[in-house]
Homo-oligomer: A and B are copies of this chain.
Amino acid sequence: MTRSPRIDCLQYANWSEKIFRQMRSGGVDAVHVTIAYHENFRETVHNIERWNRWFEQFPELIFQGRTGDDVRLAQATGRTAIFFGFQNPSPIEDDIGLVEIVHTLGGRFMQLTYNNQSLLATGCYEAEDTGITRMGRQVIKEMNRVGLVVDMSHSAERSTLEAIDISERPIAITHANPASWHPALRNKSDDVLRALGQSGGMLGFSVYPHHLKGGSNCSLESFCEMIARTADLMGPDHIGIGTDLCQDQPDTIVEWMRVGRWTKEIDYGEGSSGNPGFPEMPSWFHDNRDFENIEARLRVAGFDAAGVAAIMGGNWLQFYDRSFGSQNAGKSSDQTEAAQ
């Protein structure tokens, strides 16, 4: 493969043929798409059914990704590999057996929390963070076994540090930025980012305005300089892109993301009563055709071509290669994997 892949490790768009064509126009080889916020198992399966219809309708644009090699297949065939993820453990309900089931169905990332306390860990909006729960430890072990990546993007500090420590395989924070650059609750401390990098984990940089210094007015220059500083902090091999692009979504969706079914009151999450909807995107990133803006500016921020390629997808591909298979794959004691 001559070209390094372009991978976005988090989007939650209002999917359409238009967006799939923009992925192709933008040369995006793989996207990790959120298919559940608060959905239970059966509802998540329904969302997979919707994706199956899109895969059937647009086979020349997209297909379901399951392994790192599917990113290479996407590059070779001029399509985009779609990897499923969950922003909450709601798809596995209270049933550890569902971890393997959702992995078989293509799930590759699962957040242990979405803002609130879950059965597994504490979310970043809770007042108290009690760390990984009893069930959380069991589920992390099972996620490690089958190859479902622990994602702590919306989790609280202690829970995140404990997940890094407990997990036997590197974890990810697919979409967040350093809090030292922009002190949002959703952004991460240098302690977390350092531990993430040292453990072989990955951070995906978000362009969701609430995660950006200056919000919607954040400059591309500031964003890319932040990436350069984070490379110094974490190491250049542990960073990538996870835009958190919520393209074409109506504001009812951001309300669903924040409120789910857990409250009868309105919760504004990262927004506010004066700004309850999706924030306006920065001028330099509106859709999948805008990755080249980031790529070009990273050179100005001091990265060489290889460094830019690593950030734009090369690092994620290495992580995908290591993370999505069974933990025992390749060990001679495990012959089952060969049957898959």
A53 / chain B contacts, CB cutoff of 8 Å: 97
Main secondary structure of the interface of A (DSSP, over half): helix
CA distance in complex: A235, B52 (Å): 38
Residues of chain B within 8 A of A106, CB atoms compared: 104
Which of B45, B46, B48, B66 lies in contact with A340, CB distance below 8 A? Answer: B66
CA distance A66 to B337 in the complex (A): 12
CB-based nearest B residue for A55: B336
The answer to whether B41 touches A81 (Cβ under 8 A) is: no
Known: A42-B42, A59-B334, A105-B105. A100 touches B339 (CB 8 A): no
A95 x B339 contact (CB < 8 A): no
- The answer to whether the Cβ of A244 comes within 8 Å of any Cβ in the partner chain is no
Contact A339 B101 (CB under 8 A): no
The answer to whether B98 touches A52 (Cβ under 8 A) is no
B339 in contact with A70 (CB, 8 Å):
yes
A25 contacts chain B at the CB level, 8 A cutoff: no
Task: Determine which of B45, B50, B66, B339 lies in contact with A98 in the assembled complex, contact meaning CB atoms within 8 Å.
Answer: B45
Interface residues of A in 199-243 (CB under 8 A from B): none
Verify A48–B105 contact, CB threshold 8 A. no
Q: How far is the CA of A77 from the CA of B97 in the complex (A)?
A: 27
Q: Which of B41, B65, B334, B339 contacts A339 (CB 8 A)?
A: B65
Selected contact of A48 from candidates B41, B66, B101, CB within 8 Å? B101
**In the complex, what residue of chain B is closest to A52 when comparing beta carbons?**
B100
A73 at the interface (CB under 8 A from B): yes
- 8 contacting pairs across A/B (C-beta < 8 A): A45-B98, A46-B97, A49-B95, A49-B98, A55-B336, A59-B334, A63-B335, A65-B339
